[in-house]
Amino acid sequence: NAGVMQNPRHLVRRRGQEARLRCSPMKGHSHVYWYRQLPEEGLKFMVYLQKENIIDESGMPKERFSAEFPKEGPSILRIQQVVRGDSAAYFCASSSGVATTDTQYFGPGTRLTVL
């Protein structure tokens, strides 16, 4: 059973470009979460999605960031007009449910560098 897949693993963008990060959850998981890890910091919750629905985006910056989890295909985290402060590791996690016993399984992360 493949784990959570993320691609690309490394992404370099220039200021003002768009970054698209992809996440394929574990087989059978319909709950997806995105977290951001800034240098020297722990991971911070960004958004929780189910298929075709954003459940909680309380951790997402209000501008330039968006996320989706379509009926078919991976979840996408999109950052428009990137700035240097967006440089971070972005982790995706998935779970089979949201009960306290449901574990979130994490992908390897995408490391975004903005030049």
Residues that bind another protein (CB under 8 A): 3-4, 6, 9, 31, 33, 35, 40-45, 48, 56, 59, 91, 95, 98, 100-101, 103-109
Distance CA 53, CA 34 (A): 14
Of residues 43 and 79, the one with the C-beta less far from another protein: 43
Min dist. Cβ of residue 106 to another protein (A)? 4
In the complex with another protein, the residue whose CB is nearer, 40 or 52, is 40
Tell the smallest beta-carbon distance from residue 76 to another protein (Å).
18
Asked whether 83 and 114 are in contact (CB, 8 A), the reply is yes
d(CA 25, CA 22): 10
- CB nearer another protein, residue 13 or residue 31: 31
Which residues have C-beta within 8 Å of that of residue 59, sequence separation ≥ 6? 44, 45, 46, 47
